[in-house]
Structure 1
């Protein structure tokens, strides 16, 4: 684990798919349907899913959103392509089963315990913040925001998901993974109709918490996502679950680790460094100093 930032986090925002939810938990069902091909189907499915989101957003770079489609539709398209590529007979029954599996992906074993620790953090774990009110307009960014009713943040950092998943997908995934009530916001890029790493997608985080991007720790297991978030200005933590090499994009995350325990240690280090920075600044600028 490494840490190269000195700001105390005001919020921690998580990517969902691949970070909190195991996208390859569909392998067991895929293997039952297509013996000997479950892993290959899952891997290609995920690859094409990400490619399609990026291609659609790139095609809309001029400001138009004509090529945007909800993440559920993109996921289905990616599944159909992958089955054809692997010459697997994907009938309606198999297609429905696999999509149902994707709707209720398993959470990584370390996800819920760590989220509960963060939610229940003691008063000294971060500065108190107030979330900015969100408009209820159906046409505005509020479509991406779901506040966790009954969650008392107190003085801990805010907690959120920021995901490519459309709101309906995220609602089902969060509930099925036992994460209900753990987040202050569940943010979907559907509000801006642009997938990560588009800046408009990442901007949903600072808008929800009304803080500067650098005051947010953004956590993702996807190297491309961490790179995009770092470029945007977030303090980033790469949850490198697959022990993958760093993407050759000329950007390094502020922290790295293999699991949520490493993230918790990183947050503790960052918070301590942030307190020291604030204390030093106060001494430096105190009257008579």
Structure 2
């Protein structure tokens, strides 16, 4: 086995962040995709800005604030949908390959963990909905350090808890900025480029780029 621990970002990597809007696509209307992308973009923007300012609020609060902003940007969407959209965010779909991939890695003796901006309650809800309770060993939420990714203290939670050098950890994320932060910290990084986006941060490149998690087990060597 190449790595002692396989650590996964949650939103966009294991769980589909756009599933909440898709469940209510008919009610939102033709701008649903743009609506969902704006909601996600503002959610992340708020996390970065608040970390830089040292004015932390938990990810659920930012998720709700980002949704409020998005409704203002898309006046055709009915604000009455807010409770339903927020509720759907607690039960996001995981990507189809996720259960088999995680079970396969765990069967080889690796620790399996989530490292996410999400609150512990949000993450436990998503894990439970996906039936991954018995596969994931640990959930690391940024709430323990009061700062969002890409603050080094976030990634350090894993190495401190597991008493591992960073190079013994394989970190998977669909977010290129997250991969940059984890690479700088010293993790072996795998960018799950689900949307086939262009590369960024050329000085902080991933060890591997994959279109999904499906073939991760075939690329275990660092």
TM bin, normalised by shorter chain, reads: over 0.9
Among residues 218, 223, 247, which one is paired with 2:200 in the alignment? 247
Match of 2:75 in 1: 87
Number of paired residues? 222
Match of 1:184 in 2: 137
Match of 1:21 in 2: 15
* TM-score where L is the length of structure 1: 0.74
Please say if 1:73 is aligned against 2:53.
Answer: no
Please say if 1:11 is aligned against 2:5.
Answer: yes
What SS does the aligned partner of 1:203 have?
A: helix
Contact 2:38 2:70 in 1 (8 A): yes
Q: Aligned partners of 1:187 and 1:37: how far apart in 2?
A: 34
Match of 2:218 in 1: 265
Match of 2:83 in 1: 96
Deviations 1:129-165 (A, max 9, x none): xxxxxxxxxxxxxxxxxxxxxxxxxxx1211000000
Deviations 1:2-30 (A, max 9, x none): xxxxx931111000000000001123234
Among residues 143, 152, 165, which one is paired with 2:118 in the alignment? 165
Match of 1:111 in 2: 98
Q: Aligned partners of 1:208 and 1:12: how far apart in 2?
A: 14
Q: Where in structure 2 are there 5+ consecutive unaligned residues?
A: none
Contact 2:64 2:86 in 1 (8 A): yes
Match of 2:36 in 1: 42
How far the C-alpha of 1:109 sits from its partner, in A, is 0.3
Q: Aligned partners of 1:77 and 1:264: how far apart in 2?
A: 38
What SS does the aligned partner of 1:87 have?
A: coil
Q: Aligned partners of 1:216 and 1:75: how far apart in 2?
A: 29
Q: Aligned partners of 1:213 and 1:224: how far apart in 2?
A: 18
Over the aligned positions, Cα root-mean-square deviation in angstroms equals 1.4
What SS does the aligned partner of 1:112 have?
A: helix
Contact 1:158 1:209 in 2 (8 A): no
How far the C-alpha of 1:248 sits from its partner, in A, is 3.5
Q: Aligned partners of 1:215 and 1:90: how far apart in 2?
A: 48
How far the C-alpha of 1:249 sits from its partner, in A, is 4.6
Among residues 201, 204, 209, which one is paired with 1:256 in the alignment? 209
What SS does the aligned partner of 2:140 have?
A: strand
What SS does the aligned partner of 2:37 have?
A: helix
What SS does the aligned partner of 1:186 have?
A: strand
Match of 2:167 in 1: 214
* TM-score where L is the length of structure 2: 0.96
Structure 1 residues 218 and 205, CA gap change in structure 2 (3 angstroms)? same
Q: Aligned partners of 1:89 and 1:211: how far apart in 2?
A: 48
Please say if 1:174 is aligned against 2:127.
Answer: yes
